[in-house]
Amino acid sequence: MIIVVGIGADGMAGLPAASRAELARATVVYGSRRQLDLLDDTVTAVRRPWPSPMLPALRTLLDGADGDVHVVASGDPLLHGVGSSLIRIHGAENVAVLPHVSSATLACSRVGWAVQDTEVISLVTADPQTAVRRGGQAVVLSRDAGTPAVLARLLTDTGRGDSEITVLEQLGGPAERRRTATAREWAARPPGDVDDLNVIAVRYLPDERRLGILPDDCYAHDGQITKQPMRAITLAALAPRPGQLLWDVGAGSGSIAIEWCRSGSGCRAVAFERDEKRRGRIADNARAFGVPVAVTGGAPESFDAAPDPDTVFVGGGLTRPGLLEACWERLPDGGRLVANAVTVESEALLAQWYSKHGGDLSRFAHYRGDALGGFTGWRPAMPVTQWVVTK
């Protein structure tokens, strides 16, 4: 059995009796050097710091073990912590967790926020841009002392410089410290003495949160964008599920990839785009919304460097020789492919694939009211043919 004991910056003094008893009977304790240094002389077990990389050690933790193995972890080990990883690897029946108060709860208590209304974002391993939001509030778990400055610069660069950030260091310990500034102020004059053990409470300003499909003017684009009405139809056809990976082929502005990532927890995307300027816009758009979109070169030549998708969207380049074949080949069984066509040639290609593989073939047209002299008339948008298929 693996016993995971959560410990705070206050060390042994903050542990409940059950946690103290577990550590007192331990024969070997694993943890980071900082966590092991919090243990006092009542813990007589052999102390083993995690190696780097850490994951192989987690997999072999029970190999050759004579009795229980103990692990110390920061705060609540089930909140972006090693406890979750151990349960995933060894099964819940082989792991017991004794949690401490999480740093997220402590941070909320310091700034007066309700925990249930506060998002928790971990940058311990994730890209810093994934902590950018268009509003709301979050507790951001830092990787190191430099994380607050990196996040402050990102918020400032994406138009969120008025966001209020509170950096909380050594939460719950005798050296606890709290500092508050706007993101713009922190980015301009980042303190040089931030502790590695810190979290950031962020109130994102201005609050421009929107639910549902975004208007076109939320994106930087050169006209190569799936328009909002068609984007809504396309997202419905793509049917994203939590944790899935999308290939956005011929991504243009990246609007489909970004909407996909916004749609559910853990959704990720790879955007394939031949044009260098457009690739830059896609990266900027993804950064502005804090979503995990990897931007790469054209299709299909860049496919080999990308992980296999759960779903593929083809929004451009349909008639490029071999493109649909390459998409189909990399799509796993049960995967979904959605392709939009606006030209006669690309529509004919979709009709051929529909005849061969089935699925659903649809055509969409919509009209917008526009001035016609002193009156209002209907202006048609280009009709879009869409093929949706499950392999």
The confidence score (pLDDT) of residue 257 equals 97
β partners of residue 120: 139
pLDDT of 238 above 90: yes
pLDDT band for 66, please (50, 70, 90 cuts). Answer: confident
| Cβ within 8 Å of residue 189, ≥6 positions away | none
Q: Give tens-digit pLDDT for 124-159.
A: 989 999 999 999 999 999 999 999 999 999 999 999
Which pLDDT value is given to residue 63?
A: 86
The whole-number average pLDDT for the span 254-265 is 95
Question: Alpha helix locations (H) across the chain?
Answer: 17-25, 33-36, 55-59, 82-90, 103-111, 147-157, 183-188, 228-238, 255-263, 276-289, 323-330, 344-357
Q: How far apart are alpha carbons 341 and 256 in whole angstroms? A: 15
Tokens encoding 311:
């779903």
CB-facing half-sphere around the CA of 146: CA atoms within 13 A = 2
pLDDT band at 67 (very low <50, low <70, confident <90, very high): confident
Structure tokens at 33: 């050097």
Distance from C-alpha of 142 to C-alpha of 344, rounded to nearest angstrom: 52
pLDDT above 80 for 39? yes
Domains annotated for the chain, with CATH where assigned, are 2-101 (3.40.1010.10), 104-203 (3.30.950.10), 216-390 (3.40.50.150)
**pLDDT, position 223:** 87
β-strands 164-169, 177-182: how paired?
A: antiparallel
Mean pLDDT of the chain: 95
Q: What percent of the chain has pLDDT over 70?
A: 100
pLDDT of residue 289 exceeding 90, the answer is: yes
209-224 pLDDT tens trace: 988 999 999 999 998 8
Q: Where residue 237 falls among pLDDT bands split at 50, 70, 90?
A: very high
287-291-294 Cα angle (round to 5): 80
pLDDT > 90 in the chain, percent = 92
pLDDT for 224 equals 86
For β-strands 119-122 and 136-141, DSSP reports them as parallel
pTM, whole model, 2 decimals?
A: 0.86
Q: How confident is the model at residue 278 (pLDDT cuts 50, 70, 90)?
A: very high
pLDDT, tens digit (0-9, with 9 covering 90-100), for 164-201: 999 999 999 999 999 999 999 999 999 999 999 999 99
**Is the pLDDT at 65 greater than 80, yes or no?**
no
| Statement: residue 204 has pLDDT above 80 | yes
Residue that is written with structure tokens 């900027």 in the block: 284
Q: What is the model's pLDDT at position 80?
A: 93
How would residue 77 be classed by pLDDT, with cut points 50, 70 and 90?
Answer: very high
| Strands 119-122 and 164-169, sheet pairing | unpaired
Binned at pLDDT 50, 70 and 90, residue 334 comes out as very high
pLDDT at 84: 95
Q: 360: which strand partners?
A: 388
Q: Which of 120, 39, 54, 52 is nearest to 86 (CA)?
A: 54
* 58-67 long-range contacts, CB within 8 A, separation 24+: 58/82, 58/85, 58/86, 58/89, 59/89, 61/2, 61/30, 61/86, 61/90, 62/2, 62/90, 62/94, 65/28, 66/27, 67/27
Kindly tell me if the per-residue pLDDT of 64 is higher than 80.
Answer: no
Q: Is the pLDDT of residue 7 over 80?
A: yes
